[in-house]
Amino acid sequence: MTGSELRDDGDTYEGDDEERKVLLGALSSFYQYSRVAHWNTTHLRRQSFYALPRAHWELLAKPPFSYLDTLDTVDNAIDKNAEISHAILLAGLHSFGVPMPERDQIADKQSDWTTSASPNDLEKARSTLRQLFRDWSEEGRQEREACYEPIFKALRKEALVKVDQKLQVLVPGAGLGRLVFDLCCAGFDSEGNEISYHQLLASAYILNSCSKARMHTLYPWIHSFSNHQDRASHLRSVQIPDINPAQVLGEIQGGGEMSMSASDFLLLYDSEEQKNRFDAVAAVFFLDTAPNVIRYLEVIRNCLKPGGVLVNTGPLLWHFENNAPGNHGKEPPIGFETMGIADPGSFELTDDEMIALVQKMGFEIESRESGKSASYIQDTNSMLQNTYKISSWTARKK
């Protein structure tokens, strides 16, 4: 993907075959969410339950366990999540001009995109719904603030120096768009970039099509039955979105402009057209998604204005550790061209080494803080708590 725009005009989507395949896979995963979630979460558990010795399942079917009632309640929760998934699907179909197939088309496998989702697509749809908890619920505010506070602190400091203009801020790996939205509300011109169509479809629905605050009920924890202290925690719901984005933007005085691009970060922002465009790049839980973080830093350096700042916060959970993309260190084939994030090769650095690399790449470190606790889509009632000690720093392009 090299710069496709999310549109809301009902026109037929035009893109290359591979990109269309990726889009349809994402749409299909939201279409199939309900069926797949019911099958994997409750149907298979019912089969396992009735495979128990009769005396055992009869014991568990009664209070205080009432295991079958729990499965019925989970089914109802899946149905509520499916309402969100269906809303995302319908908004995406309209945005890209993809028609919902008729029954006779569904019987024709060649014209049926509804079953095109891969297992990875289906997992991404489920995780995208869970991420709505972090980005667009009141209960996710604590997670957001832990990560966003260093970003806003650095950008407000930068804005004091450039009082005669609105800062142009790029948010790579923008996910569901909350940071892009919050920056816009704070008076910055913000542009988000995201490569995942699952994320883009969900963010477009929340930002452009969701008509009121607390419109949907989301059950973020129902897909896993592990590490719950009590059943109430397992079945806890949240309301999303916590605000009506359109209403909030309409009420703000002095807000910035906001946009989103659907593209490979490395391919889009390494171009001459993007050179020296932005006053700041806000990287939140992003740099460790790089197989080769040098390429990320090269592209960030390209699109930052001279004297612009890279503001980073996050852990170093290297996403491609033990799973390098591309040719896995082998010589590229004849005719190989730059593939963006799919370039071959990868490596992993420590936090100290990252700072040294940033300096080697033509940046000056102006501030650095480490050890602050932050979580990522964490159930605070869970018996398992995963907490990062994040690194936050600001580096200025020389």
Give pLDDT tens digits for 127-161: 999 999 999 999 999 999 999 999 999 999 999 98
Residue 324: predicted pLDDT: 62
What is the Cα–Cα distance from 89 to 200, expressed in whole angstroms?
11
Mean pLDDT of the chain: 91
Using the predicted structure, report yes or no on whether residue 380 has a pLDDT greater than 70. Answer: yes
Domain ranges of the chain: 140-324+339-397
Residue 226: predicted pLDDT: 98
In the chain, pLDDT over 70 holds for what percent of residues?
A: 89
Residue 182: predicted pLDDT: 98
Residue 322: predicted pLDDT: 80
Query: What confidence category does residue 277 fall into, taking pLDDT thresholds of 50, 70 and 90?
Result: very high
For 140-324+339-397, give the CATH class.
Answer: alpha beta
Q: What is the pTM of this model?
A: 0.91
268-276, long-range: CB < 8 A, 24+ apart:
268/2, 268/3, 268/193, 269/170, 269/172, 269/193, 269/299, 269/300, 269/302, 269/303, 270/298, 270/299, 270/302, 270/303, 274/302, 274/303, 275/302, 275/303, 276/303, 276/304, 276/305, 276/306
In the chain, pLDDT over 90 holds for what percent of residues?
A: 84
Task: For 40-81, write each residue's pLDDT tens digit.
Answer: 999 999 999 999 999 999 999 999 999 999 999 999 999 999
The angle formed by the CA atoms of residues 152, 156 and 158, to the nearest 5 degrees, is: 120
**Beta 258-263 vs 304-314: how paired, if at all?**
unpaired
Query: What confidence category does residue 396 fall into, taking pLDDT thresholds of 50, 70 and 90?
Result: very high
